[in-house]
Structure 1
Amino acid sequence: MNDSERKRDLINQMQSLAQKNSTETALFHQTAAEKLGLGITDLKAVSTLLQEGPMTAGQLSKRLNLTTGAVSNVIDRLEREEFVQRKPDIKDRRKVIVTVNKEKLSSTNNIYRSMGEAFEKLLETYSIEELEFLVKFYHSTNELTRLEIAKLMSYWR
């Protein structure tokens, strides 16, 4: 196999593996959500708030590509289960900020702990150069995915 054929084969393998990884990841998150008594969208809302910090319902709505009504229902469910709290915005009392209840999360026997530990063990097997490559790859794929989401959203409006 020449270099061009080898490169094409590797690209094909990467695309196939990425699709499989996406499916397995979605299934993992679905199972995790079920174990917490939540829906996948609810869990992604909590995840977004943890990663990006407290935000208004409108900001969360835009970030998750949900209608304001749908995100209000998500927040209501999460608040009932005490995963999030609504707090008045100090700067603008007309707004409400949604924050994660970290005490509740820590008391749920963190379902992600095992996965995090397994990934850490895997990543420890890579060299610094390989890790730098992976960090660059994930930054690039995250940005590419955000751009593709925006493209999809513009097609269906």
Structure 2
Amino acid sequence: MDRAERLERLALLSEADATQTAMFQQAAAASYGLGITEMRALSILLRNGPQTAGALTRALHVTSGAVTGIVDRLVRRGLVSRAADPDDRRKVVVTVDLAALAASENAYAGIGEAFQELYAGYTDAELDFLERHLTASVEITARETARLHPRA
């Protein structure tokens, strides 16, 4: 396979991977009774810790009204709580209820185990390459997402 064919194959595989990941995320969200945007908010909160509603608005690229609805739905499901920001009571801070989340079946456990098995077969050099690739991929995707959301 020459370089042009390999690059075309990589482009096709990247698109297929992105599509399959989006489909998995949608199915995982549905298994929790959530929409994909609520699941994205939950993911941001788990990864980055408690966030103000404004920070969620920026991270999700939605309006403040939309974030209010997202947080309301997560509160109703018992997955997050909201409280006044201790430093600025005009702001609301949203926090994941880890105990409530842990009480649910983990929709990500199976895929996490499958990827750990996949990675177990790679050398340290291959894992280093994958880490560099995924880091760059996340940065590129974030930059291109921001480009499509100019108001952010």
TM-score category of the 2 structures, normalised to the smaller one = over 0.9
Structure 2 match to 1:13:
9
Measure the CA separation in 2 of the matches of 1:144 and 1:30: 22
Deviation track 1:20-50 (CA, whole Å, cap 9, x = no partner) reads 1111111111111111111011111101111
2:33 is matched by which residue type in structure 1?
Answer: G
- Worse overlay, 144-153 or 110-119: 144-153
Structure 2 match to 1:88:
84
Q: Matched residue pairs, number? A: 152
Structure 1 match to 2:117:
121
TM-score using structure 1 length: 0.92
Deviation track 1:77-126 (CA, whole Å, cap 9, x = no partner) reads 00000111102222222221101111111111111111101100101110
Structure 1 match to 2:131:
135
Measure the CA separation in 1 of the matches of 2:117 and 2:146: 35
Q: Looking at both structures, which has the greater relative contact order when contacts are Cα pairs under 8 Å and sequence separation is at least 6?
A: 2
Structure 2 match to 1:40:
36
Measure the CA separation in 2 of the matches of 1:41 and 1:130: 33
Q: Give SS of 1:43's match.
A: helix
Q: Give SS of 2:149's match.
A: helix
Deviation track 1:98-157 (CA, whole Å, cap 9, x = no partner) reads 011111111111111111011001011100000000000011011111111122123x89
Measure the CA separation in 2 of the matches of 1:151 and 1:94: 30
Measure the CA separation in 2 of the matches of 1:15 and 1:44: 25
1:129 is matched by which residue type in structure 2?
Answer: A
Measure the CA separation in 2 of the matches of 1:152 and 1:40: 18
Structure 2 residues without counterparts, runs of 5 or longer = none
Say whether residues 1:153 and 2:123 are aligned partners: no
Give the % identical residues.
41
Structure 1 match to 2:24:
28
Q: Give SS of 1:110's match.
A: coil
TM-score using structure 2 length: 0.95
1:64 is matched by which residue type in structure 2?
Answer: L
